[in-house]
Structure 1
């Protein structure tokens, strides 16, 4: 498998690259500036400038792009749509590092986490923008996409336990009634998903037991 990680210099992207490298996977870091990852192969190019020619040799593309500036939140949808355009009508798979805010709180899937009363106001614009990007991706029936939401408590410095669960679209808690996962365990889950070729056309979630 030939793998590319877009926005690989970010915290999640770097750990995904490291996980892939540790397993001997052929991984290319796609970055806008100097490579800060463990990848030996690097494509230095802005995400929005990528072409079909740039990605023609990859089997799986992992989108680790994220932006937090409120005046740029529309780039979440724009970036996903651009990458989807590059792989549409091919066997290439697009895996997206998603958010937890769009997870559902009820079986009817009518209420998302970010729409709930207790969700922090400061994070609602970001969560709403990421939910919109997922909604746009759902319309792409000509793309082999998978959207992977982390747990609510997504810990950058958390330890790698290797003990995680793949769940569905509804917020799922562990035995301690917690929704937690470290970046490192999320990276492991993402690489496993890339290797197993499951969950095509689905949004899933991952959390620590």
Structure 2
């Protein structure tokens, strides 16, 4: 597959690039910072994901500067691709960029036939056993995370409004951190997944696996789904 990944230099984005390369997809890694893009390319080359022409056993990585909030950039970098993955994540204080980027992605891919797979947030998931009560409104939700949580909810609303885009939105568990690649995860729809120990967790490495599994075998077209241990 030919895959463009926006937010490729971030924590989730870089792991998604690595996972896609390990499966021998042709990856176009997109970011706004050229220095970070060059560092990503070097790290992937060191890990065995070097650039070059496609072929048996050859992994293809191209890095391009671009902005997911710019429909022209999205259209240009999505042209000829099978899939666009968005793993953008704004810094604190700029949470409104998330919905702006979602609007750019929808506008840039509208009517193109290119699939869109979006890394979203967990805040809009319902609490286990409490239909209609969102995680962000639950007891003990951290006040400092509320701005990004509400921004993720707005992001989801924008994506759901993309009537001419073949989209999928993946919500992470409550806790998504760098960890171990186990290859194991559970799949849910709109309810937060909680493990036997009462925690909602998945490593970023396994989250990247879930993203690429959905990319290769779409099961949630025009739907939101979630994953967890």
Structure 1 stretches of at least 4 aligned residues deviating more than 4 Å after TM superposition: 106-109
Q: Distance in 2 between matches of 1:30 and 1:138?
A: 23
Asked whether the 8 Å contact 2:180–2:205 carries over to 1, the reply is yes
Counterpart check, 1:48 vs 2:58: no
Counterpart of 1:62? 85
Alignment of 1:148-167 (within 5 A): 148-156=170-178, 158-167=179-188
Of residues 212, 216, 219, the one that matches 1:198 is 219
Q: Distance in 2 between matches of 1:68 and 1:9?
A: 13
Shift of residue 109 of structure 1?
5.0
Larger radius of gyration: 2
Counterpart check, 1:94 vs 2:116: yes
- Greater displacement, 44-53 / 24-33: 44-53
Query: Scaled by the length of structure 1, what TM-score is found?
Result: 0.92
Number of aligned residue pairs: give it. Answer: 206
Q: Distance in 1 between matches of 2:129 and 2:156?
A: 18
Q: Where in structure 1 are there 5+ consecutive unaligned residues?
A: none
Partner SS state of residue 154, structure 1: strand
Query: Scaled by the length of structure 2, what TM-score is found?
Result: 0.85
- Greater displacement, 114-123 / 179-188: 114-123
Q: Distance in 2 between matches of 1:205 and 1:58?
A: 25
Query: Once superposed, what is the RMSD of the aligned Cα atoms?
Result: 1.6
Asked whether the 8 Å contact 2:128–2:191 carries over to 1, the reply is yes
